[in-house]
Amino acid sequence: EKEKSESLLLNILPFKISEELKQNGHVESRLYHSSSIMFTDFKGFTKVAEIMDPKDLLAELERCFIKFDEITEKHNLEKLKTIGDSYMCAGGIPEKNNTHPIDSCVAGLQMQNYMEEKKRTKILNEEPYWEMRLGIHTGQIMAGVIGRKKFAYDIWGDTVNTASRMESSGEPGKVNISDKTYEFVKDFFDCEYRGKIAAKNKAPIEMYFVKR
């Protein structure tokens, strides 16, 4: 029973955080000077939801998120949460590392490749399909666990808001990154400069598409 409960806890919290919670009864929030945050969102989800059986809709959404879980784990990213049809993960937490901007871009490309393969299959079968926007931004965050009920490992800060804007300012099928992330990854990826793009409640931000 103890093994079951600990396994369940590890499905909710990162190992380092779950150990701290077990030992101390709480988790200290920490400042991370550099973390890469990724958001995804499905374009046309609402329209497809209107014509799909709810069980089929959730099964399709689960298939996508399970694949995303595999990709994030493979590239040392931490899944934080799903919010409706949006997926959120981060690199460089809770264990700090220097590769998180690169890891995030590779993961983003693989997620978009997966969605593109699904799209081709759906078109051949004359079935409705989703396309996905994906955005990444790198910067300073706070991370921790707040509250005592239904707790979750979460992150806060302007970096999170900006990462969300990278997603909403992106285009379906593309990996959209900020100039901050670009500075870390420009020697490793072929990127397309988009110019300064207006972002909601923010000054225009220089953005790039990661092509390969």
Strand partners, 39: 88, 135
Phi, psi of 13 (to 5 degrees): -125, 150
Bridge-based pairing state of the strands 175-178 and 131-145: parallel
The reported pLDDT for the residue numbered 52 is: 82
Asked if the model's pLDDT at residue 6 lies above 90, the reply is: no
The reported pLDDT for the residue numbered 49 is: 80
Tokens at 44, concatenated:
């046309």
More confident residue, 182 or 126: 182
Nearest to 77 by CA among 45, 46, 110: 110
pLDDT tens track for 39-73: 999 987 888 888 888 898 899 999 999 999 999 99
Asked if the model's pLDDT at residue 17 lies above 90, the reply is: no
The reported pLDDT for the residue numbered 200 is: 79
The whole model's pTM is what?
0.92
Asked if the model's pLDDT at residue 141 lies above 90, the reply is: yes
For residue 157, is it left (φ>0), alpha (ψ between -120 and 50) or beta?
left
pLDDT tens track for 143-199: 998 877 777 889 999 999 999 999 999 999 999 999 999 999 999 999 999 999 988
